[in-house]
Amino acid sequence: MGVDIGGLFKTEEVSFQNLHDKIITIDAYNVLHQFLSIIRQRDGTPLKDSEGRITSHLSGLLYRTANMVEARIRPVYVFDGVPHPLKMKTLEERKVRKEQAEKEWVEAQARGDLETARKKAQQTSKAFSKR
């Protein structure tokens, strides 16, 4: 959902060097989704452990955090809690898009279209499964 507040702030690019000895906060859900989306095999299948559990996000978090700590940056991952009720419509729309992308991913895999399969797979990421 988000609120566009970009106009309230001056933006500038910074490097890791600019952040030495600083504590930075990171939106944990955004980072988890980023890694779940991009760290995949050629056909779009996410990385998994020997028991079939998805580990793409764990690999991404480990390596990114290690790089930040090595650069003397202290990351704090923030989980912002349960979504506000006003966001439910947005979340439902995302769910529908993910379900459609999952169908298209399976179809692309069946056709052997790895490029489309990977693109569609990236759209199906879920940070947490419901148990």
- pLDDT, tens digit (0-9, with 9 covering 90-100), for 83-102: 888 888 888 888 888 888 88
- The answer to whether position 88 is within a domain reads yes
Q: Decide if 128 is inside a domain.
A: no
- Whether 10 is in a domain gets the answer no
Q: Is residue 6 part of a domain?
A: no
Residue 68 in this model has a pLDDT that exceeds 90: yes
131 domain-assigned: no
Q: Is residue 99 a part of any domain in this protein?
A: yes
pLDDT at 38 over 90: no
DSSP characters for the chain?
Answer: -----GGGS------GGGGTTEEEEEEHHHHHHHHHHHSB-TTSPBPB-TTS-B-HHHHHHHHHHHHHHHTTEEEEEE---SPPGGGHHHHHHHHHHHHHHHHHHHHHHHHT-HHHHHHHHHTT--SS---
Residue 22 bridge partners (DSSP): 73
Residue 96 lies in a domain: yes
Number of domains in the chain: 1
What is the pTM assigned to this prediction? Answer: 0.64
> What is the structure's pLDDT at 26?
94
The answer to whether position 1 is within a domain reads no
CATH number at residue 20: 3.40.50.1010
Residue 1 has pLDDT above 70, yes or no: no
pLDDT 10s digits, 20-34:
999 999 999 889 888
Which structural domain, as residue segments, surrounds residue 22? 16-122
